A = this chain, B = another copy of it.
Amino acid sequence: MMAVKLLPPADDAYNYPLLIKQLLLSAERYAGDNEIVGGNNGKRYSYAEFVERVHRLANVLTEAGVKEGDTVAVLDWDTPRYLECFFAVPMIGAVLHTVNVRLAPEQIVYTMNHAHDDLVLVHDDFLPLIAKVQDELTTVKGYIQLTDAEQAPQAPMTTIGDYETLLAAALPEFDFPDFDENAIATTFYTTGTTGNPKGVFFTHRQLVLHTLALASTTSMNDNMQLLQASSVYMPITPMFHVHAWGVPYVATMMGLKQVYPGRYEPASLVRLFATEKVTFSHCVPTILQMVLSSEKAKAIDFSGWQVLIGGSALTEGLASAALERGIQVYTGYGMSETCPLLSTTWLPQNAAELSHDEQVRLRVKTGKPVPLVNMRIIDENGRFLPHDGEAMGEVVVRTPWLTQGYLNEPQKSNELWENGWMHTGDVGSIEPSYTLQIRDRIKDVVKTGGEWVSSLDIENLISQHPAVELAAVVGLPDDEWGERPHAVITLQAGAEVDYDGIVAHMQQFIAEGHIEKWAVPDTVKIVDEIPRTSVGKIDKKRIRSELAGD
């Protein structure tokens, strides 16, 4: 730290902490007639009603015994009441645990105990599960029932009451206190392929800064007006997953019309899109694919819908199909540990003149880092690599909205933060225009003769052989080169190819300068099926182990 000029203030009132309650200040001012709509039960709230409900909820929570520093868990679909929790829980100084309801029951129990949940708000759909495991929940002191029905059905366990009845009985005003902006506001769990879920957590300061940075970029590009005063926002990334990418905080601060779709059923998503005139959503590629291919989507004109894709790579095929249906698709990059936004697609000013194919290629890129994000790529020795579009390195970041570590996991936290940078575990290259392209996961990249080879790049090239259905590439230890790439492939029905055929196919890409000759796999094994993990991803760990055991 340098000795900089700091003056003693005349009064410390100027020292205004960044708190989530401040995001509500402008909500009503900008909202006008905009509503917050629940796809779960058809209820519609004005912003004045929404703000009053946040105050009522704060009274309900404190009457239920929630104190500063306590943790309040929510198990719900995407609803306006979840948005109320996004505000009321942290605004009273408690921590909001957005429980991932897609986890296996034993993992849900693990995360709820690990986060020390004190009070649990639980939707009817998850009451049977919670009733069954409640003896295993070691820290929970009470439950509030969330229901979409007019009359709450009988709960299979003792509860404090149902949300709407409690809200109706609560006082409509709560005096939200000031406190340290570094207080934890939210926590949730990220799932790896192995081991227990890891808890990440974000402070009030971090969420306010993430909101402002997001707001400052979502409408500054003339060619991608994601969020504007006239926008209608509908999340299609669950609210339990990284606060639905933080967009609900932005949309509320801006007073936009918001539509919360409840459960994600393609027919109901398409219906809400059309009837509520949705203009902006975000989702993983699979959901967009599901929506586009649904029966109900066939008759719908999707033009004017802006969709930000993240979570996994947007393929050129899906981007092209979406554009053809009038959907403006973009890619965002980030992860649970990063709040999440790090970078988004950036369209140049002449975007309208670009061909369909050029549009597709631009939109599948992970784009440019947003303001305040410091992003570099580093080699294995931690040295910065050039932004030449060629050099591949691990993506490391600094920005004011990164998780401090994993909840109660000091060792994993130390691995996340090394030498002052958060290590994403992703391998990418950065173009001279500062556009990031994610190339691989660091555990999958093949390190051969001091060079990094992207397993994904090689898989893509091998897959272009007409006989190949699917390809997976892994690195295996090699005495001379450290590692060498090896491939396993499945074939198209009735097609045939051998190792020499694959090598011959790869020669054209070497000749065209797409890859170096050392990127050609040493072996290619034809298999009936490529191993996959429980969530459907290619299981490279198992492939490595099977090939090594050959």
Contacts and interface: CB of A to CB of B under 8 A. Distances in A.
B219 A229 contact: no
Interface string A51-79: 00000000000000000110100000000
Contacts of A370: 26
Interface stretch (A6-14, A37-45, A491-499, A506-514): A6-14
A537 interface: no
A383 interface: no
Contact of A201 (B7, B29, B184, B221): B7
Contacts of A368: 26, 29-30
Contacts of A201: 7
- Counting contact residues on chain A (CB < 8 A from B), the size range is 35 or more
A369 B29 contact: yes
A374 B22 contact: yes
A401 B445 CA distance: 46
A402 B14 contact: yes
A357 to B, nearest CB: 21
Interface in A405-436: 405-407, 410, 413-414, 416-417, 419-422, 433-434
Contacts of A93: 2-4
B371 A253 contact: yes
B215 A349 contact: no
Nearest to A413: B10
A212 interface: yes
Contact of A179 (B2, B14, B227): B2
A18 interface: yes
A194 to B, nearest CB: 21
A381 to B, nearest CB: 19
Interface in A249-269: 253-254
A222 interface: yes
Contacts of A422: 13-14
A215 B216 CA distance: 5
B215 A417 contact: no
Contacts of A209: 18, 212
A4 to B, nearest CB: 3
Given A25-B373, A212-B212, 19 more contacts: A2-B93, A5-B71, A5-B184, A6-B182, A6-B183, A10-B413, A14-B404, A16-B398, A22-B372, A23-B371, A26-B370, A29-B433, A30-B346, A212-B371, A216-B216, A216-B254, A221-B229, A222-B230, A223-B229
User: Which 9 pairs between the two chains have the least Cβ-Cβ distance?
Assistant: A10-B413, A4-B183, A215-B216, A10-B405, A29-B434, A212-B212, A11-B417, A13-B420, A9-B404
17 contacts: A1-B180, A5-B95, A6-B180, A10-B410, A11-B417, A14-B404, A18-B209, A22-B371, A29-B368, A29-B434, A30-B346, A212-B215, A212-B216, A219-B220, A220-B254, A222-B230, A253-B371
